[in-house]
A = this chain, B = another copy of it.
Amino acid sequence: MARPRAFDEETALRKAMDTFWTKGFEATSVSDLTEAMGIGRSSLYAAFGDKDAVFARAMELYVREVSAERVRILRTAESARQGVRDFLAHHIRVATDPRTPAGCLVVNTALEIDGVAEEAAERLTSRSKIADQAMRELLERAQAAGELDRSVDVRALALMLVAVSYGIHVMARMHRDRKTLQSIADAALAQLG
């Protein structure tokens, strides 16, 4: 029995996510946030706490909607080749989608926040390990199935493929040319026959 919130929390959070994604954490002021989210200052503080909390919630949203899909792709893949191809294609699609900011929020902030906020960096690190692990397990399944040679170091190869996805996001911030990024993914795929 009270006045209901005039804005949808998730909609507002999505706007905040876009802002952080585009400008980075440090360059985004609370005024930038309230403007993008279309809410007042006090509403923001009442609903979320402070700027750090908004960022944490925005990152949660990103991981839930974007990163999680990639892990799903790896876990449900029927072959290493198909899984890696779809994994990289998803990275490229998000990185170059004109409806969303360039690159990847996680990669952007991983490079920005370290050396400043220790805890946030650690959260990111542990999150990134989930994808590392999913990639490694996919390659191990492929090795067991005979798709991949027993002699290859799956841990190293898994991390290398994840590194390529990071590199794609860095390049997406520089030129944002879909075809170029796709050719990079193809070159990486050559590793899998």
Residues of A within 8 A of B (CB): 22-24, 26-27, 101-103, 107-108, 110-112, 114-116, 121, 124-125, 128, 152-153, 155-157, 159-160, 162-171, 173-175, 180, 183-184, 186-188, 190-191
- Interface SS of A by simple majority: helix
Copies in the complex: 2
CB–CB A160/B174 < 8 A: no
CB–CB B125/A156 < 8 A: no
Instruction: Check A163/B167 contact, CB under 8 A, given A23-B115, A191-B191.
Output: yes
**A167–B171 Cα gap in the complex (Å)?**
10
CB–CB B164/A116 < 8 A: no
Identify A170's interface contact among B24, B107, B188, CB under 8 A.
Answer: B107
Identify A26's interface contact among B24, B152, B163, B187, CB under 8 A.
Answer: B24
**A108–B110 Cα gap in the complex (Å)?**
9
